[in-house]
Amino acid sequence: MTQNQTAQLKLGQTFPLTIKRLGINGEGVGYFKKQVVFVPGALPGEEVVVEATKVHPKFSEGKIKKVRKKSQHRVVPPCPVYDQCGGCQLQHLEYTQQLKEKRDIVIQSLERHSRLKVEDLNIKQTIGMDNPWSYRNKSSFQVGTQNGKVLAGLYGLNSHKLINIEQCAVQHPQTNAAVETVKQVLQDLQIPIYHEKTRKGIVRTIVARVGIQTGELQIVLITAKKELPKKALIIEKIKSRLPEVKSIIQNINGQKTSLIFGEETFNLDGSDFIQETLGDLQFELSARTFFQLNPEQTVKLYDEVKKAAALTGKEKVADAYCGVGTIGLWFADGASEIRGMDIIPESIQDAKKNAKRHGIKHAKYVTGKAEELLPKWVKEGWKPDVIIVDPPRTGLDRALIQTILTVKPKKVVYVSCNPSTLAKDIDVLSKKYKIEMIQPVDMFPQTSHVEVVTELKLK
């Protein structure tokens, strides 16, 4: 019998395992006869008995049957539905240790996806939160019914069972209270709730967003059809029970899709947007505007970007994937000119409005792809000294990496929400750039997500 045949785990087999580190999704990682095993809920240093739940040729997944030796950093999760909901992955790990593990997740990504010498890199300690709870300014909870009672929450891990969430531990208390109130209004008025399987009913999702600095609240009801029964009564009851509501919006999504928003949006009452501030900047947030979910940490993240860019007032800055312009506006006073681009036209309109509202005249925003606009600008004689990139989880477009290597700005500041794609991208950029520093920032405490600011200087 060969080694491979003996090492292959069988489904349902139980076996002992020592957990070596956390994986990128917050699961425990151990090795059984040289094969990697992922175990959700297990922590580094723990000795556990595991049952194999999935067996692949290259790796296996398992669930904890018993913890033989517990980590000293294991804590009791405060959330009653923590193990069912799947929104948080690390509530069972002490917060100071979460920060250390997130730095390790960045290191693992660099080891796995790049040829860089990790020991030579300046990887800083993760910047955390003073209070790592109640930080999210927006919740999008699906609505359902059970025994005639209206529920709102998230679908459980890998299931179509709706987990009713009354007090989400990472949501701002105002959004929690708002969802509970709207749920009660729908219940009292017996508004038909959408059913996923039969596709009958009206209300699908309740979205609540709060301006953490301003206290303003926005409620969005996402409905399967335009007709909303007892509309005037719904508005009246929400307003009387939630006096801080500044904006009540209806969005229509009749599609069979996991996307929350549909294309049509109507104002039911109040303003189209709520106000929020970040540092000295003010923003208007309409129902579909993207805005960072943790404003307190966003300020810390943007300050790190500003530090890395180290502008002196003379630099031309290109802000790729600029969104509504927040990062560029954050350090506009240090740049001689900012040019931002994004492929979403609404974001560019908002970026222009935001620049105008703050009296920033040296910022220009264009709809389009950075990899197409940059070479064009260089040909016209506008070459950036600094490029800021804040791409989606998929990382930088290949063509943009090539453009950066061709245009050769003196500095690139890379803001990443996915350490794996960051590692692949800076590996390619390191041909011409020296990696000055890597700074992890914890934007989502209690989850396995980690944001990273990387400063790259032209060699």
Find the Cα–Cα–Cα–Cα dihedral 226, 232, 233, 234, rounded to 10°.
50
Burial class (CB in 10 A: 0-12, 13-18, 19+), 398: exposed
Distance CA 290, CA 279 (A): 18
Tell me the C-alpha to C-alpha distance, in Å, between residue 119 and each of 107, 135, 176, 241, 420. 9, 34, 44, 57, 18
108/127 Cα distance (integer angstroms): 18
CB-based burial, 125-139: b 16+ in 10 Å, e otherwise:
ebbbbeebbbbbbbb
DSSP string of 168-218, one letter each residue: -TTB-HHHHHHHHHHHHHHHHTTPPBP-TTT--SSEEEEEEEE-TTT--EE
Give the C-alpha distances (Å, rounded to integers) separating 216 from 171, 220, 285.
15, 14, 10
417 catalytically annotated: yes
CA distance 31 to 17: 7
104/11 Cα distance (integer angstroms)? 30
Element (H, E) at 451: strand 451-458
The DSSP element (H or E) to which 305 belongs, if any, is: helix 295-309
Task: Name the token pair of 224.
Answer: 């399967």
Q: How far is CA 193 from CA 3, 200, 202, in A?
A: 56, 8, 5
Q: Where are the alpha helices (DSSP H) in 21-132?
A: 82-85, 95-113
| Residues acting as catalytic residues | 417
